[in-house]
Amino acid sequence: MPIYNAPLRDLKFVYNELFDADDLQQLPGFEEATPDLVDAILEEAGKFCENELLPLNQVGDQEGCQFEDGKVTAPPGFKAAYDAFHENGYAGLIAPPEYGGQGLPKTLGFMVQEIICSTNMAFGMYPGLTEGACRAIEEFASDELKETYLPKMIEGTWSGVMCLTEPHCGTDLGLIRTKADANDDGSYSITGTKIFISAGEHDMTENIVHLVLARAPDAPEGIKGISLFLVPKMSVNDDGSVGDANNVVCGAIEHKMGIHGNSTCVMNFDGAHGFLVGTLHKGMSAMFVMMNAARLGVGMQGLGISEVAYQNAVSYARDRIQGRSLKGATQPEKAADPLTVHPDVRRMLLTMRAYTEGNRALNVWVARALDMSINAEDPKQREDAEALVALMTPVCKSFMTDCGSDVANMGVQVFGGHGYIAEWGMEQFVRDARIAQIYEGTNGIQALDLVGRKMPEKMGRNLRPFFHEVSAYLEEKVHDERDEMQSLIMSLAKSFGRLQIVTGWIAQQGMKNPEEGAAAATDYLRLFALVALGYMWLRMADIALDKRAGDEPVFYQAKLDTARFFCNRLLPQTGALMSAIMSGSDTMMSFNEAAF
């Protein structure tokens, strides 16, 4: 079975040292989120996930979910773990107190979610989807629906899911055919079929709340005619208890490449009783609340897989002896030296580490901005934070999941043949990680969202917080006289300059030909993400230089060394990406379609 230890020291470093925890504690509603409380929650979450969820990860993969007569049974042990998860309060960490939650910062919720994803990604999807559904209900539903459904969902008695995709439409939601016919009492009858519905049916809760996109008979064509409806699996009585079954039935579960522990369902709605969430024909607004929450959550799945794959690769590389160091035997008393003596193995391990720790820092930076955008009292601070979250959501979803897949594959490579067989668990990480690049909007769609929507929105308003902060930091640090910082600063400055040039080029060329931006989008998102990670690594190196002579020299020196590796070996990718982007769209769009 794979090993895992929650990276508590690094999580605490990012939360308390890289960023100022006092900033969050001073926000209205977060007064009780002291560093001691945050540390204690992270430590307990680490123990729970290591002891309860990690042992079920391979069980869920090997046993999978079982389907019979419209009913789905979760893998052995999942229901008991789900009950314990909620009894320990993890599902309500960031939920609103007025509905039974603890109201703690979303930043803390993000960090706990990383730990969950590392230990059991398939399990984590059940509470994760419920959290996203709760956010949409909280923001758009009527008070009656909120009071009826949110307390039960937050306490874990009921769960929630999104029902968007249909057999003929995935990304293009304007093609949705599911119908919503108005009833005399103000409710609706929902009829249609949804596919790829994660956690759409299971036996771990007494009710499942489906948030369904559907179209009323008089709705306008396209996405402007879509509405969002709350459709429970079981009807709810006036006293809040569960009543009769609604006309919501699981028609099948998918046989998938990975995440076998999570049920991926075909859901059939046959005149099911539902309730409008938000305004009629304005369902996309509510859907994007769920979708954006889900996209950040999926980014954390990539991060979680990266961390567990890295830990197992390091452990194996230290113990596995193969060949001798090129400089001569380092352990002559043994038949061979450990894998860690080989430069290419070190290249893989350091790449895994640099992306994982860099993404963790980026994750917390964006999570803090999310908290600021909601809780800050200063309107300008809220506006800037909201712009940063909007800009970075597609970047985090896409880049972190790309890294999750890449890091998991590198982990298999470190293991060699042992990584390819199921016993060690590494190949499961590859299979589980792969879906994260696809669902909640493929990574290509994230790139298009970044270039086509987030960049030009409000005349480039979303770009300003990021560009201004990185620029100000570089201007401040250009006078840093420490030699070790200077080389890192120059590396980031070059890459940041490339990002600025390419951003202007895409904006200019896109006005002439919209295919230019689309052709550049994926490379641009990666370039953007690398610069963002470079900024995180410079800030971490800055701290490490000051603290490496203290009580934890190994920890801080490792931070500095990883920053050097990232800036010297990985950040230069921005040069190639810039060249590829500025080669233009003609290289791909002029190709004869018949020749494919």
**Alpha-carbon Rg for the chain in angstroms:** 24
Dihedral Cα 255, 420, 438, 298, nearest 10 deg? 100
Tracing tokens 């970047």 back to the chain, one arrives at: 395
Write the CA distances from 590 to 220, 518, 577, 585, 586, integer angstroms: 36, 14, 20, 8, 5
Tracing tokens 């006289």 back to the chain, one arrives at: 481
The catalytic residue among 440, 469, 516, 593 is 440
Residue 73, both tokens: 């049974």
> Closest Cα partner for 426 from 33, 57, 10, 135?
57
Dihedral Cα 456, 530, 525, 471, nearest 10 deg? 10
- Please give the full DSSP string across 254-284, using - where no structure is assigned: ---SS-TTS-EEEEEEEEEEEEEESSTT-HH
Which amino acid, one-letter code, is at 394?
P
b/e code 543-557 from CB counts within 10 Å (16+ = b): ebbebbeeeeeeebe
Neighbour count for residue 15 (Cβ, 10 Å): 23
The Cα 150–Cα 140 span in angstroms is 12
Residue 222 DSSP class: G
Contact 415, 313 (CB under 8 A): yes
The H or E element that residue 226 is part of is strand 226-232
At 208 the three-state DSSP class reads strand
Q: Which backbone phi and psi does 242 adopt, to 5 degrees?
A: -80, 135
Active site residue 32: no
Annotated catalytic sites, by residue? 440
